[in-house]
Amino acid sequence: MSAAPPVPLLIPPPSDGPVLVGFSGGLDSTVLLHRLLRAGESGAHGLRAVHVNHGLHADADAWAKHCAAVCDALGVPLDIVRVTVEDRGHGPEAAAREARYGVFAPRVPAAGCLALGHHRDDQAETVLLRALRASGPDGLAGMPATRRFGRGWLWRPFLDTPRAALRAYAQVHDLRWIDDPSNDCDAADRNFLRNRVLPLLRTRWPGADAALSTTAALQRETVDLLEGADATALADARTLQADVLRLDRLCAEPAARRARVLRRWLAALGLPPLPREGVRWLDSALEARLDRAPRFDWAGCRLQRWRDLLHAAPIRAPLPAGLALAWTASAPLVLPGGDRLLLDGPVDAAPAWRVHARRGGERIALPGRAHTHALKHVLQVLEIPPWVRTRLPLLSDPQGRLLAAGDLVFDRDFDAWLRAGGRRLVWEMAPRPGERTIA
């Protein structure tokens, strides 16, 4: 009597909605697709698959055809999406992963799951790799079995299953899969761990993979305990602007908590992870004089302290110093960087206004005041932060009289003209690339 075929266990799904499988055609995703069909884990609206063709290998198109054939045989609908992989300095692996997840996110069904074939060996590699990169508890927690993703969830059903069990299952069921030859190249750090380091560890410690996976589970328990207090501390430091924190509240926390809150905040803003030097920078910036605005730049983004505030955002160029645009207010004026000036309300005759950048020395006659005031001083009194001032457009009449600084400061006669006609000058600041709204 032959032994029963091995059946890899499935970690329970986080929802009973429809399931989308990220299908590369490799061993892991092939077993996952087959196993989900056998288990009836198709959700309320069936099982679908998506294959991302990165176009990085000569056989990429052949792999896409293989995936189409497999899904056709199993009766699973498949989307094949070709992407262009752009390496933004984090390496080809990270770039390809970013491209894949960019395809997956909008396709995850509402309240459904994106199922990926990561297994226990992958988890062991992740923990070891992050330990060698001096990661803290969040990194050593490895990959979560489930997490929120897109409109639904990301689900890794095989995260407790060794790869050997997946291979045995595939052989018993005579499954066909793709072997990517790039996995045999040790140039990538993960491949070096997979091909050289972990096999050596297993000769001495046969349970190395299980031990590393357990380490991840224990660290995730630690992270779960920390995150509640992190969220409370971040909420306490927030302002009405998602990209600005109150430093007095942030600095009331211990240094270790402060670093965790900082990283949580940046992740919520959709900004890249802050390097260790950035956390150290904050400690030194706290000691800077209040009339300074120290800043730290990384990966195209900037942290900047100003008074008792901390601002984080992608770096945006200030208005060009020589900017001088004619504007009749008949239509919105688009400024460099994407900001807009518009006049809401009736205009009796087309004005001949000029929009320009600050050059220094500007003065403005404020409503209710008999004398002019230095614009620089007015902005300081209004506590306009430097990340706003660098983009501030000025509006002048043909004689050079300053009428407005954005929609923040108005000349007294211009203010009276706006009010008399029920008009409103609006300065719309363009959203940052990838900006998120935070509740």
Q: Give the end-to-end CA distance of the chain in Å, rounded to a whole number.
A: 61
DSSP-derived secondary structure letter, 49: E
Of the candidates 174, 34, 182, 209, which has an alpha carbon nearest to the alpha carbon of residue 115? 34
- Residue numbers in the known binding site are 24-29
* DSSP state for residue 23 in the 8-state scheme: -
Indicate the SS3 state at residue 152: strand
Distance CA 261, CA 237 (A): 9
What six digits make up the tokens of 143?
A: 């990959």
Q: How far apart are CA 147 and CA 324, in angstroms?
A: 50
Is 54 in contact with 93 (CB distance < 8 Å)? Answer: no
Instruction: Write out the binding residues for ATP.
Output: 24-29
Distance between alpha carbon 227 and the CA centroid of its chain, in Å?
19
Distance CA 202, CA 130 (A): 19
Contact 207, 231 (CB under 8 A): no
How far is Cα 98 from Cα 85, in angstroms, rounded to an integer?
8
DSSP state of 184: G
Asked whether 136 and 145 are in contact (CB, 8 A), the reply is no
Residue 363, Cβ neighbours under 10 Å: how many? 14
Distance CA 265, CA 174 (A): 48
